[in-house]
């Protein structure tokens, strides 16, 4: 990564939020490692790591204050387009899960934003702990809907890969048979074809199937990363 790419990355709000998430994860890992060590130095490391984790988590919330608006707009668009896109009962369930995912995520971000004053320690409110618990509940519901949708996408992508592999094998057999049954043109035809500019070669069925299979596998890897990350 060049210096310019690093600068662009660190000037992006989403990139900064992910960087803080990584640092928060390191702080949590440090707490998990040194919490079982019964020494004074380990206790100091745990205290420092706990303070860092708290501040990293608070810093991430600054970048998410108005993110609930984006989630609300996405859920509203999905709800508005629900009737036009749904053609079966299965698609209706998937559309409902998608709407629920963005709705729950928006509610999580909204309730979290409401309690940021309490998290800063400016003013303590009696209802802030309750709102924080409810925000975590909305976050869990959103994650659950997202996992279900991702698993379904993985299932359909796997079936697509199997179908493309079968079609690719059939296309290779057909191309092999066509090549063995083809005849060569006479010398005159070859000379005339050499004088003319060669046309742009078209993609063969085998190449199209290979490209579609490669694209489906990339989609599968992306879905797996989303599910594991």
- In degrees and rounded to multiples of 5, residue 197 shows phi and psi of -65, 135
- The first and second tokens of residue 111, run together, are 């309730």
Render pLDDT for 109-155 as a digit per residue (tens, 0 to 9). 999 888 888 888 888 888 888 998 999 999 999 999 999 999 999 99
Distance separating alpha carbons of residues 97 and 78, to the nearest angstrom: 10
Distance separating alpha carbons of residues 219 and 225, to the nearest angstrom: 10
pLDDT, residue 53, reads 92
pLDDT, residue 37, reads 84
How high is the mean pLDDT in each 10-residue block of the chain (229 residues)? 80 86 92 88 91 91 89 88 62 86 94 86 85 92 93 91 88 78 51 53 75 88 79
Identify the residue whose tokens are 């020494």. Answer: 39
- The first and second tokens of residue 1, run together, are 């990564």
- The first and second tokens of residue 52, run together, are 């860092």
pTM: 0.73
Q: Residue 45, Cα to own-chain centre: how many angstroms?
A: 34
pLDDT, residue 188, reads 46
Distance separating alpha carbons of residues 27 and 8, to the nearest angstrom: 25
Render pLDDT for 50-62 as a digit per residue (tens, 0 to 9). 999 999 998 888 8
Residues 6+ apart with CB under 8 A from 166: none
Distance separating alpha carbons of residues 100 and 93, to the nearest angstrom: 10
Distance separating alpha carbons of residues 63 and 17, to the nearest angstrom: 7
pLDDT, residue 9, reads 79
Spatial CA neighbour of 63 closest among 121, 24, 102, 100: 24
């Amino acid at each position: 990564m060049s210096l310019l790419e690093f600068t662009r990355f660190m000037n992006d709000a989403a990139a900064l939020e992910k960087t803080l998430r990584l640092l928060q994860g390191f702080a949590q890992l440090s707490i998990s490692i040194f919490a079982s060590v019964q020494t004074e130095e380990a206790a100091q490391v745990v205290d420092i790591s706990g303070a860092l984790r708290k501040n990293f988590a608070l810093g991430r919330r600054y970048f998410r204050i108005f993110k609930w608006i984006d989630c609300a707009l996405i859920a509203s668009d999905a709800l508005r387009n629900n009737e036009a896109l749904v053609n079966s009962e299965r698609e209706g369930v998937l559309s409902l899960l998608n709407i629920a995912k963005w709705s729950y995520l928006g509610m999580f971000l909204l309730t979290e934003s409401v309690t940021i004053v309490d998290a800063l320690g400016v003013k303590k409110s009696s209802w802030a702990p309750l709102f924080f618990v409810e925000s975590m509940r909305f976050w869990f519901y959103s994650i659950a809907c997202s996992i279900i949708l991702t698993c379904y996408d993985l299932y359909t992508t796997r079936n697509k890969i199997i179908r493309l592999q079968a079609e690719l094998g059939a296309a290779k057999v057909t191309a092999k048979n066509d090549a063995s049954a083809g005849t060569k043109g006479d010398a005159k035809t070859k000379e005339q074809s050499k004088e003319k500019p060669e046309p742009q070669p078209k993609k063969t069925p085998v190449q199209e199937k290979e490209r579609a299979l490669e694209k489906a596998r990339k989609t599968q890897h992306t879905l797996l990363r989303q599910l594991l990350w």
